Amino acid sequence: MGEQLRLMAVHAHPDDESSKGAATMARYVAEGVDVMVVSCTGGERGDVLNPKLQHDPEVERDIVGYRRKEMAEAVRILGVQHRWLGFVDSGLPEGDPLPPLPDGCFALEPLDIAAAPLVRLVREFRPHVMTTYDEDGGYPHPDHIMCHRVSLEAFEAAGDPDRYVGHGQVPWSPLKLYYNQTFSRAKITTYHQALLDAGAESPFAEWMERWEERAERAVTTRVPVAEHLETADRALLAHATQVDPDGMWFSVPAETRRRIWPTEEFELARSLVGGPVAGPAGSPVDEADLEDDLFAGVREHLAQGGAA
């Protein structure tokens, strides 16, 4: 084809890249695709979620430095490039009423300020495909919602020479934008039943009881990743402060996942090269129309001499 394919995955915090689409990235790296992960914030306000490290003196002394070391190891495992946008974690407000977000945090930045460094990265890296979160952030964390807004802004603005002047030398228009759809009702139901069939306790029972509280998203794309699930697991385990190795994320062994759910799911949100169209949230795409490749349409476009 003459041009190396490039994929950019935009995430809110360090560890998000390893829990959402990591096996897909590992697959494309193995195929020779140039993959870049962008972390919007440093995860400074994230709690230590692994009970084994909650009172570790090294973690308590420098959580920011610790999370950067974790991220460097995950990047090494996945084989991707990585860039920090440099914004400050907003934290996850809790309470009723919710407290205000802290001054200077990512979620309170004006959109043009928050998007400018990502526009620059898009123009420098020149991705053919971008991935990020849907408008609800995957779950309503303020940084995830802001990550969606920033990613959409960069996708639409980076190719316009009249926008974000001075942020990158040459305009660049990515061809496709996807939303990660990490957990669907069908996937969680399949995991839950597999654990029950194996005589194990399922951590997903409560999720299923509360499922009516969240809208089901459309899936347009299922990427086969069976051979890369262990790589994704190792990358996630590298974020030791955030993930308990005995917790929910690893309740279904990789060998079982390879058999019962060997794909990662995405929702095509924008495309300049066609693809399945998602209807209203939750409306399914016909099985015959599902993609199995984030670069579907892109490969053909470039092979025919089309410009990105």
Query: What does each C-alpha distance from 226 to 72, 79, 181, 274 come to in angstroms?
Result: 24, 17, 17, 26
The half-sphere exposure of 179 on its side-chain side, counting CA atoms within 13 A, is 26
Q: Show the tokens assigned to 121.
A: 């990265």
Residue 13 annotated as part of some ligand binding site: yes
DSSP secondary structure code for residue 158 in this structure? T
Residue 16 annotated as part of some ligand binding site: yes
Question: Do 298 and 128 contact (CB within 8 A), yes or no?
Answer: yes
- Taken in order 26, 127, 105, 63, the sign of the CA dihedral is positive
Q: How many CB atoms lie within 10 A of CB 27?
A: 24
Residue 143 annotated as part of some ligand binding site: no
Q: How many CB atoms lie within 10 A of CB 124?
A: 15
Q: Which helix (H) or strand (E) element contains residue 130?
A: strand 129-132
Q: Show the tokens assigned to 153.
A: 């802004």
Annotated binding-site residues read 13, 16, 144
Annotated binding-site residues for Zn(2+) read 13, 16, 144
